[in-house]
Chains A and B, each alone.
Chain A
Amino acid sequence: MMKQHIDIPNRQFDDAVTDAFRDAPACGAFGTIDDLSRRRAVNHIVQKAASAARNVSEVHPRWTHRRVRAAGAIAAVLVLGIALTWYLVLFGSASPAALSAASYFGEVQTVHGAVFIDDDSAYRHAPLPVEKPMRTAEGTALLRMPTGIDWWMASHAAGKINRLEFNQLHVSVSSGENWFRVDPERQGPAFSVLTPMGRIHVTGTIFVVRVTADDVVVTLLKGKVLVQDAQQTPHEVQTGYSIHLQNGQTVPVSENEQAQLRQQLATLHWEESTATPTLTAASSTVDNSATGDTSVAVSASVQPATTDKPADIKQLHMSIQNARKAGDWKKVAGLYKRLIRTSPAGDAAIVSRVSLGDVYLSRLHRYGDALSQYDYYIQSRHPTLLPEATYGKCLALKAMKQSAREQQCLEQFVRRFPGVLQVESARSRLSVLQAKPTLSPDTINE
């Protein structure tokens, strides 16, 4: 068979087959169609084509109406969906944007100090709510957002974390001195600061916003910002300049003020390159003869700044938060001690002593340890949490039933921090202590 197959050349095969198929045009595979059949078929086809054309022309408008109706329905659904989404975004508290904002801002923590919301709730190491006016009292507060933004509120500053809207992150500043540090390489929504007299668009920079009754002053310490005043006029502010939003005037920062700002900046450790004095602690028990205070005190020496390991510290902070949520206070204390050991002279370690003192005092009831932690912080002269540490020391002394020392501590507290919230309770406690005779160890010995 294969031989036979090969026997016929392709050329000959093609020509023969083509020749076989060559015939009259009317001749098909089933024979030739006669003329009558052809005419009949053509007539039938023409009629069928005409009726098909009629059907198409009749069907077409109805089909068009159906299409129009379907398109209208789809458009109506789309418009309703878009309108609903807009409504929820703008007015709904349970909108996806609001929820994302809530979850987003749920991570905002006070790293140092405390902020007060609704005049009586102190938020320290707690998630901050959005759209709630918050303020600092006598002390300061450092808020850290998870997207690489730090907000330091000086004493008697007020502001608000706004809801995340259209992928824009806003905070409002209503009074006082507020410092911002924005990581230039941060990921996340665009960040801007709203003031009563304009808006500040930020990319990555360090700047201060001072809000007073009749002016808002924005001072640039690093980078640059775009400031829009109330008339929406944009002003670009460079490093070393301040802008007064009341009149839109940009002025260079005086050397004296620059020095002050640099000094304050050094305490915040926002500029790693700046050599700032930090404290190296060496704990020892000293006898404070002036106050009769025998407790753990701190001798401090000034050394160049040591840089904390941000990743470790951040991880430790997260672990602390988790342990706090779980209510495992022993673990919290252990983690704080580990944090302090990680970088003893670092800013995070020093302020952690107050938090550790709080845990010892109110959770673990280890009053002596709490007292030593507060003392350590007070002796370090770190300014941020001084009112809290002093009041904590008073509470620790009260718990240890050392009335004389408690009284001294309270007097000192009332004298130094007359404007803080705890001062009223301190005064009432002080009046109680002053009313009854104290039974200090000294009087017992006598």
Chain B
Amino acid sequence: MNENCAKQTDSTAASKAIVDMCRLAAEGNVEAARKLAEMVFNRIHKTASYLASNLSDAEDLAQAACVEVLCSAGSFRGESSLHYWADRVTIQTAAKLLTTTTRRRKIWDRYHQPERTVTGSDKLTDRAAARHRLAALLSTLKLPQREMLLLCYVHGYTTQEAADVCGIPFETARGRLKKGRSKLKRKVVKDPLLSEWIRDWSI
């Protein structure tokens, strides 16, 4: 599942220019900080949108993760890619933030917000619609499994890389991935449009 996404993953070491920019951002250079934020924002926003269960949480998480990236930019030594490092920071921030906010909002959401359902036509015609439905199903999984599926499906990490990003052992990561995929698959099968789209899907 990672082969076609491997090219998207910039797992090589960052260039000296990026390291310098991070150093300047950490020292308080606003321009460098803005550049750095623009470089990582899309990635962090995307990660946050799949990790959080609603838009409001996703925006809060993206903002917190970006601030965390800028505040700890001085610790970036350039040994890995910037995106890899940003993903790690985002995952760690999400683990801290979502566990508290999710617990707090669980009861509220249960009674005051409708579940994230997607309505549409009888047949999925484009990838965006399928992604939308998959994201809705993904948000129903537990956070650890969601993290693993996000890193592997969305960002194209290998299991080992995903384990490193989350800071967990390889076997744990593999277990979470396997369990998450199984659950997601079961949910997809229940969704006739998605299951049909996947069956009809061909490279």
Contacts and interface: CB of A to CB of B under 8 A. Distances in A.
A67 interface: no
B85 interface: no
B58 A30 contact: yes
Contacts of A25: 42-43, 46
B67 A27 contact: no
B95 interface: no
B153 A21 contact: yes
B45 interface: yes
A42 B41 contact: yes
A311 interface: no
B66 A19 contact: no
Contacts of B132: 29
A28 B185 contact: no
A25 B67 CA distance: 19
B13 interface: no
A22 B2 CA distance: 12
Interface residue tally of chain B, by bracket? 35 or more
A53 B153 CA distance: 35
Nearest to A33: B45
The B contact surface, by secondary structure, is: helix
B55 A20 contact: no
B139 interface: yes
A28 B58 contact: yes
Interface in A93-148: none
A15 B197 CA distance: 12
The A contact surface, by secondary structure, is: helix
A26 interface: yes
Interface in B40-91: 41-43, 45-46, 48-50, 55, 58, 62-63, 66-67, 70-71
Contact of A20 (B33, B49, B127, B195): B127
A23 B63 contact: no
A90 B41 CA distance: 68
A52 B43 CA distance: 22
A5 B182 CA distance: 9
B34 interface: yes
Given A20-B127, A22-B5, A45 B70 contact: yes
Interface stretch (B106-114, B166-174, B186-194): B186-194
A7 interface: yes
A29 B56 CA distance: 12
A35 B203 CA distance: 31
Nearest to A23: B131
Q: Which of A8, A13, A49 has the most CB of B within 10 A?
A: A49
Contact of B189 (A1, A18, A38): A1
Interface in B110-161: 127-128, 130-132, 134-135, 138-139, 153-154, 156
A15 B202 CA distance: 9
B1 interface: yes
B71 A13 contact: no
B199 interface: yes
Given A20-B130, A21-B131, A41 B63 contact: yes
Nearest to B59: A41
Interface residues of A, number: 39
A46 B32 CA distance: 10
A23 B138 CA distance: 17
Contact of A45 (B4, B37, B156): B37
A44 interface: yes
Q: Which of A17, A19, A30, A52 has the most CB of B within 10 A?
A: A17
A411 to B, nearest CB: 98
A10 B189 contact: no
B38 interface: yes
Nearest to B133: A20
Contact of B66 (A22, A30, A45): A45
Given A5-B189, A45-B37, A49-B71, A26 B45 contact: yes
Contacts of B186: 5
Contact of A23 (B1, B38, B128): B128
A215 to B, nearest CB: 75
A236 interface: no
A50 interface: yes
A16 B71 contact: no
Contacts of A33: 42, 45
A18 B1 contact: yes
A30 B55 CA distance: 7
Contacts of A52: 67, 71
A273 interface: no
A15 to B, nearest CB: 7
Contact of A38 (B41, B58, B139): B41
Contacts of B49: 28-30
Interface in A193-248: none
B178 to A, nearest CB: 10
B134 A21 contact: yes
B42 A15 contact: no
15 contacts: A8-B198, A10-B181, A19-B4, A20-B134, A21-B131, A22-B4, A23-B128, A25-B42, A29-B50, A29-B58, A42-B37, A42-B38, A46-B37, A49-B71, A53-B71
Given A13-B198, A19-B127, 5 more contacts: A16-B130, A28-B45, A30-B49, A42-B34, A45-B63
